[in-house]
Copies of this chain bind each other. A is one copy, B any other.
Amino acid sequence: MAIERPLDALNAARNAFVVAELKNGKKIRGKLLAFDIHLNLAMDEAEELENNEVKRKLGKVLIRGDTIILIIPSE
């Protein structure tokens, strides 16, 4: 699917799992419920990853967009 704007890349990821890598080095993986133009993200079933293993379970979480480096939608 062609996309016009970079945030369109998240539209296909709604209700699917994504990984957000944060400026403090943490990675949060969760089901993407919603996002906005600031890249604020609401996730469900979220967990913090460390070396690709689950460090702790967060459940529902709201991540502030300005703390994000990149988002990887898992395919």
Binding site for B on A (CB under 8 A): 2-10, 22-24, 26, 28, 33-36, 39-42, 58-73, 75
Number of copies: 7
Contact of A69 among B2, B8, B67 (CB under 8 A): B67
Separation of A6 and B67 alpha carbons in the complex (Å)? 15
B residues in contact with A40, CB < 8 Å: 6-7, 39
Closest to A71 in B: B62
Nearest Cβ in chain B — how far from A63, in angstroms?
5
Task: Check A62–B23 contact: CB distance below 8 A.
Answer: no
Closest to A35 in B: B6
Closest to A4 in B: B34
